[in-house]
Structures are given as structure tokens and as C-alpha cells.
Structure 1
Amino acid sequence: MNKDVELRKIALETLIQIEKNNAPSHLVIKDVLDKYDYFSKNEKALISTIVKGTIERKIELDYVCDLFSKTPHTKMKLPIRLIIEMGIYQILYMKSYDTLAVNSSVELARKKGFSTLAGFVNAVLRNISKNKDNIKYPEKGEENYLSVKYSMPLNLVKLLVSQYNEDTVEKMLKASLESDFVRIRISEKCSASEKEEIIEDFKKKGAEIMPVNGFDYLFNIKGMGNIGEFKSFMSGKIYIQDVGSYMLVKNVPFGDKILDTCSAPGGKSIFLSERYPNAKITACDISEDKISRIKENIERCKASNIDVKICDATVFNPEFEEAFDVVVADVPCSGLGVIGKKQDIKYRLTDESLESLYELQKNIIDNVSKYVKKGGYLCYSTCTVNKKENEEQIERFLSKNDFEYSVLSFVPENMKERINNGSLSLMQGIDDSDGFFISVLKKRV
């Protein structure tokens, strides 16, 4: 098997595994790339690009497929549908020759035992390649315009358009598809010279590194490869962290005792430890696996004032009742602010699953608020732009509990207009950030 087909076969098998097992794509991709660690950087990048792109653009790819195939994508066998989706993605979005995309797709059909359908795959993809500059997409104003153009399920498009105007939603969706960088936080304990050494190290290894507007220790990075290979990562001097999570921690008030209730993978607790070395921080999450990830990161970053415990944030723990000066609740959410990084999130969000999330968030905030001392603080956050999970949750909570908005202590000048009723709402495509929501509430004495 030639290398071009071999790499695409691995990409196909990865997609099959993700779809059959309903598995989180970012975890499956990581496992596959670890397995083929002996491949070159470019070979691993090709596998990752095809898999991520095929998932990310799925709705558009299936729309295009149905324009050129007499058999709708819903009637195709799984491997054939994925082969065609991969082929269309390469034709529309990758710089490889269309002939390579078509021929490798045909060969994949044969390799997977579908020789009788190889001609069908060939005909569909060649027709698309020949007409790719004249594909008729839905026009602006049509109900499925945003859904097809940005591969966003229609139920989520309708939800967001009901909360924001259509132009704002389009900016957010467009930014999610263009999110091709990672953000890192350099430890504020690093000296100016250490920070410069870290930046130069990324540049030497071929990565682009640019400061995030308004922040001294946050950077956008492209093309860094495996972050685990960097000495600064292994020594705990850098951490993958987005603007929203960074700003959440910067807005957490000081307290002798701080509880981080949904802590995994531990970035918030570690940054809190850095900011408040004299505080006693308790980091909790619901499973052994999540606790293990927290402990690994704490050890790597050498944070010494964090106690880690398994704890279900929806279940009352009498030992915690009014025991903490500050409680941080970065709750499970729809993730609509980070779909550029976790491409498959959007396909899991049915109306029913969203209702379950709203109830879970309500249960968490209602429960962990009991752990806040009088005069203490509850810091609520999500990585979504869905107002039902953000502003509406906070308004419901305040109407039933003896808390009030607290002033956010750290908001860069270019983001102050994002404050509304004491909460901060960041939007991808509008701010230099993923979508994120922060609200700090004070318990009345």
C-alpha cells in the first residue's frame, strides 16, 4: 500500500472508531497519533487534518454529497459515506491534487471490501471535483444557510439566532471553523528573561507565537506539534489555557479556603495556587480518571497547596457546608464556545440533552452555593455562549438565593463592553477568545 493511501486508511479507521463508539474525537485522535508516533510530523498532521476537517465540516460535506449522488448519504454504508466525506473535504479544503483525493478514496473503498462500490465513489468525487467552483449552496436568509455553510446543526443555529442577531451568530460560527491555534499561559512566576526564552524556544521549533491582545502571559500558538516535547511544558512553566479560563481565575477573589468543584484537568486550581500560594485549595471532580489527570498536572506544575478529592458537585457534602471563602464552579456545559477545538460537540447536542444540561447546572450551582461562607464568593463559569446556561442560570439562582453580583476585578479595557449586569460574556469571532461566561456572586452576610 502506498503511503498516501496508508495515511488516509488510518484517517478512515479513526473516523469509523469515533462514529461507531460515539467517542470524543479529540481523545481518539490523540490515541491514534500516539500509536503512530514514529510517523513524520507532516504525516501525522495529514491524518489529524483529514479527521478533524471531515468531522468539523460534516453537514456541508453531506449536503454537497447529496447534490451529486443519486444515493443520499443517509442510505450509504458507514465506510463508504466516510470515504466520500473525506474525499469531498480534501477536494474543497486541502491543497493536495484532486486526482490524489479521488484515487486514494477509490482505493480505500477496495481496501475496505467494497470493490463493487469503487466506481460509485469515483463517479461522485470526480463529478464534485469538476464542478467544485459551481456548487449551489443555500443563500443568506434561507433557513439552512448558516447550518450548511458552517456545518452547525439546525437546532443549535435556531437556538443561537433566538438569542443573538444572525450576523453575530455568523461571526461566531465562522471563527469556530477558523480556530487553528492553541492558547498557552506562561507562568507569572517566570522572570522576563525566562518568558523570552520560552517564546524563543517555540520559534526555534517552527511554531508561530503571538501575544493575546490585552494579556502579558497568554499567547496564541500555531504549528507547535506535540507540546509535551517542550521543556517549558514538562517543567510546569506553561499550561494550555484559554482566555476565558484565565480570566475566571484572575477574577476569583482571595480566600483562605478555596474550593474548585469541577476541577479537571486542573488548570484553574494550578493557576489559583500560583496566584494565592498561602490559600488552601481543594480541587474536586467526579471520577478517578479526572482526579488522576488533576494530580498529574499538579505534579508537573509543582503546585503544593492543592488537596485533591473525588466529589460529585450535585450531591451535598456536609463537611463542606459554609466551609469555604470562595467556591469556583466551572460547570459542565454545551461547549458552544469551544467547538473549534472539539469538533464533534455540536453533533451531540439535541434539544433533550440541552435540557438535561440546564438541570445539571442548576443542581450544581444550587448545591455548591451551600459551601460558601457568609460574605464569601461563588464564581460560576461555562465555555458556552448559550444564554440559557449563562445569564438565565444566574438570574434564576439570584432570584432564589441570598447572593448578589460582585464587581469583576480584572477585565482588560478592550473587553469591558462585554460586561452585562455584573457578568462577563466573551464570544469567539468578536473577542480574541473562545466563547466563555463568568459571573462572580457574593453571599450576603
Structure 2
Amino acid sequence: MKNPQKNVREAALDILEAVDQQRSYSNLLLNSFIEKNHIKGPDTALLTEMVYGTIQRKMTLDYYLAPFIKKKLDHWVRNLLRLSLYQLVYLDRIPDRAVIHEAVEIAKRRGHQGIAGLVNGVLRSIQRKGIPSLESIPDPAERLAIETSHPIWLVKRWISQFGFEKTKEMCKTNLQAPVQTARVNELKISREQLLDLLEKEGLIANPSPIIPISVRAVKGNLARSEYYKRGYFTIQDESSMLAAYALDVSPQQKVLDACAAPGGKTAHIAERLENTGEVIALDLHEHKVKLIKEQANRLGLQNITVQVLDSRQANKFFPEQSFDRVLVDAPCSGLGVLRRKPDIKYAKTVEDIYSLKKVQINILHATAKLVKKGGVLVYSTCTVDREENVDSAEKFLEDHPDFEPYPLKLPRPISALANGYYVQIMPQDFGSDGFFISSFKKR
């Protein structure tokens, strides 16, 4: 019988290879691999830790490996060394000899005796001599970039926008595992009742200190709960929950969710409408629209209509002034969710930020026409970059004199961070995703 930990390490290597070679998203790959291979319990935790940890710390690991590698390596060999070094440096519970033995065995199976010898030599040299010090990097920005595995262009950009200390705090927070949070469906159950039911299932969660209808997982995976299937709650980050609050909806209103998939915010709006009125949810892709329908059915929501449509064309499809509220949760660089999708930070470029800003402005321009007089438009992103956030909001107001800033309606203590009509949440503020929300009212 095979050692399950050996399987887990090989699985981790397969996932790392797919992320690098095929540009696959680590979170999607990991979830599908766990389901397909029926990986359970401690093996799930170990696989997740090794995959995310190795990706999160890739630049640091490469810095540590550099003095010990004298020639060009096959891609999978470098990933095997990264994976093994991650365990040696960051995981206390696995003995070094077990890590090195498994790495050598994988190298033999995937390559040949020569590669196995190289892997063994590199890891034993590191074990003997120790990893190089980061203190030898003279430039503070470059040292921070290597220490926290964030591209140097991004670290310098953040330092210019937020200052060194705030950037350092954010980069360090991005290396921490995110807490799983869920939004209670109050049409079916109260938060207190849900916490009791979860406890009876052997899952432990605490009330969120920042969102009155949110819980934070302490033990167990809430998505595996029977009560998730029954539609008692939705897995959603707490920052993301704020978009529906900002819309400030009332029952019977008609709301457009312009970039809706996978449907977490759509469902939250529908719940806040108390299953009255109508939420029209748009997305560009058929398979993503299906996810929104599935959410609505699971939660028992009858006030959601979904449609495949490019929201940049929404003003050609819907009559002007036909919505009380419009949410534009725009496509963005995703730099606020690096704890959940660590591979993003290595793939993004500054050009991406500028091209996404054009898309964001175009969506805002098209959907602004659809807001009724006295109605509200909310613009949000899951990024922290000023260009996509405050600059886009200011540009919108400049281009649309028929709109004015509208004070954000958010729960405390988040409302204390708001700058009138907008708020920038950093990952280190509450342990939630980096997120931006702004609100405008049509005169």
C-alpha cells in the first residue's frame, strides 16, 4: 500500500506544474483534485498547505535555492525543490529526513538516478549550510519583495501609493491563510440558530465582529455542512458582503448586478430585498450564469433573473432609468485576494491594470444610463490599486455630472474607515480581502 503522504506530495507537484505551465488557477485546481481523488482529513490540510505555501513563497524559495543550483533545471525539478524546501523551512511537523527521502523518491520515479542525486545533493547542502540571509539585500523595497514574494514592480507601486510600512503590513498579511467566512441567509435562519446547528455537526464558527450576518469558521469546512446544501448560508468573504450593504436597497426595488458571477453578491442583494422586487444578474459567460442560477435555487430565492450579456452593452438592452439600484462589481486585477489566489501576483503586469481600468470605465458609462433619478450606483473591486479604485471613481464623477457622491451605508466598524462616498479596505484591516467600494447617486 502506498504511503498517503507520498501521494499528497506528488499531487502537490502535479498542481504546481499545472499552475505554472497551463496558467491554471491554484484554488480551482486544488478543489477539483481533492474532490476527484477523495482526499480527506489531514491529507487535505497538508496538500492545501504545501500548494498554497509553495506558490505564496516562490520568490523567497528561489532566493534560498539560488546559491545551491549551478545549472539550468527542468521545470518540474525546480518545482520539486521549491516544494521540498518549503517543507524544510516552513513546516515544523514533518521531519527533514522524511522530506528529503520523499523528494528523492519522486525524482527517481519522474526522472532518473542522476536527477535524484542532484535533488538529494541540493537539499542536503541546504540542510548543512543553512539558507542565505535576506539581510544581504541592500535595497529595502527589493528585500521586502523577496522576503514576502511579491514582484518588485508591485511593491514599489504600493510603496508610492500607501507608504513603506502599510505596504509591508499588506505583503505580510498576504502570506497568511485566509479565514473561511459565511453569510447567513436570514430568510431561513438567524445567525445564533446557525451557529448552534453547525456545532451539532461538529463544525465550530464564531460570530463575525464586523458583519452582523457573518460567521467565521474556526474548525471544519463550512462548505461541507448539510446546512450549506439547505441554503442556510453562503460562503463569501466579509469585504465582498459590503457591496450589498452599500446599495442601501428597500423591498420591491429593481436592481441590476452588472458583473454578477458566481452570484454571491446577487444572492445577498436578493436576500436584502426580502425575496421581493427583482435582481437582474448579468455575466459574459454562459457557464458562469449557470452558477448564479444554482446559488438562487439553493438559497430559495425567487427574485433573481439571470442573463448572458456583456455589461458594456447593457444600455442597448435595457431602457434608460429602469433600475433603482445598479451594482458594478467590476473585473479587476484581483490584487486584494492574493491570499486566496497567490498565483495572480506573478501573472499580473502594470499594463493589465491600465487595460482593466478602461473596461471598468466602459461598464460604468453603459450602466449609469440605466439608473433612475434619485437611484444609486455602487462601484466595487477586489483590488487595492489606486488606479482601478479611487481614480476610476473620480473619473466617473468627472464624466457624469448627473451623479453626485453618495455617503456609504456600511456596518460599523467598517463605516469608520469610509472617506465619505468610498472606502478602501486593506487585507490587514480586518483579516478580510482587500476591497474597494464607492457609491454615487443620480441627481
What TM-score bracket applies, with the shorter chain setting the length? over 0.9
Q: Which residue in the other structure is 1:234 paired with?
A: 229
Q: Which residue in the other structure is 1:56 paired with?
A: 56
Which aligned runs of 4 or more in structure 1 are off by greater than 6 angstroms? none
CA offsets, 1:15-48, max 9 Å, x none? 11222111111111111111111x3311122222
Map residues 20-419 of structure 1 onto 2, 5 A cutoff: 20-37=21-38, 39-71=39-71, 75-94=72-91, 95-132=93-130, 135-137=133-135, 142-192=140-190, 195-203=191-199, 207-225=203-221, 227-254=222-249, 256-276=253-273, 277-320=275-318, 321-401=320-400, 402-412=402-412, 414-419=413-418
Please report how far the alpha carbon of residue 138 of structure 1 lies from its aligned counterpart in structure 2 after TM superposition. 5.0
- Determine the C-alpha separation between the residues in 1 that align with 2:409 and 2:352: 34
User: Does structure 2 conserve the Cα–Cα contact (< 8 Å) formed by 1:212 and 1:432?
Assistant: no
Q: Percent identity of the aligned residues? A: 33
- Determine the C-alpha separation between the residues in 2 that align with 1:265 and 1:157: 30
Question: What root-mean-square deviation, in Å, do the aligned CA atoms of Structure 1 and Structure 2 show?
Answer: 1.9
User: Does structure 2 conserve the Cα–Cα contact (< 8 Å) formed by 1:202 and 1:224?
Assistant: no
1:11 is the counterpart of 2:12: yes
Distance 1:83 1:391, change over 3 A: same
Please report how far the alpha carbon of residue 126 of structure 1 lies from its aligned counterpart in structure 2 after TM superposition. 1.7
Query: AA paired with 1:18?
Result: V
Please report how far the alpha carbon of residue 387 of structure 1 lies from its aligned counterpart in structure 2 after TM superposition. 0.9
Query: AA paired with 2:243?
Result: L
Query: AA paired with 2:246?
Result: N
User: Does structure 2 conserve the Cα–Cα contact (< 8 Å) formed by 1:172 and 1:430?
Assistant: no
User: Does structure 1 conserve the Cα–Cα contact (< 8 Å) formed by 2:408 and 2:420?
Assistant: no
Please report how far the alpha carbon of residue 110 of structure 1 lies from its aligned counterpart in structure 2 after TM superposition. 1.0
- Determine the C-alpha separation between the residues in 2 that align with 1:300 and 1:8: 35
- Determine the C-alpha separation between the residues in 1 that align with 2:350 and 2:76: 28
SS of the equivalent of 1:216 reads coil
Distance 1:203 1:145, change over 3 A: farther
User: Does structure 2 conserve the Cα–Cα contact (< 8 Å) formed by 1:383 and 1:436?
Assistant: yes
Please report how far the alpha carbon of residue 319 of structure 1 lies from its aligned counterpart in structure 2 after TM superposition. 3.2
Mean CA deviation greater in 249-258 or 229-238: 249-258
- Determine the C-alpha separation between the residues in 1 that align with 2:113 and 2:202: 42
- Determine the C-alpha separation between the residues in 2 that align with 1:52 and 1:284: 31
- Determine the C-alpha separation between the residues in 2 that align with 1:313 and 1:63: 43
Please report how far the alpha carbon of residue 82 of structure 1 lies from its aligned counterpart in structure 2 after TM superposition. 0.5
Distance 1:238 1:138, change over 3 A: farther
Distance 1:292 1:138, change over 3 A: farther
Distance 1:313 1:191, change over 3 A: closer
Query: AA paired with 2:395?
Result: R
Mean CA deviation greater in 395-404 or 311-320: 311-320
CA offsets, 1:142-162, max 9 Å, x none? 231221111111111111111
- Determine the C-alpha separation between the residues in 1 that align with 2:240 and 2:40: 33
- What TM-score do you get using the length of structure 1 for normalisation? 0.93
- Determine the C-alpha separation between the residues in 1 that align with 2:235 and 2:130: 38
- What TM-score do you get using the length of structure 2 for normalisation? 0.93
User: Does structure 1 conserve the Cα–Cα contact (< 8 Å) formed by 2:353 and 2:388?
Assistant: no
Distance 1:114 1:147, change over 3 A: farther
Gaps of 5+ in 1: none
SS of the equivalent of 1:315 reads helix
SS of the equivalent of 1:79 reads helix
- Determine the C-alpha separation between the residues in 1 that align with 2:116 and 2:122: 10
Please report how far the alpha carbon of residue 438 of structure 1 lies from its aligned counterpart in structure 2 after TM superposition. 0.7
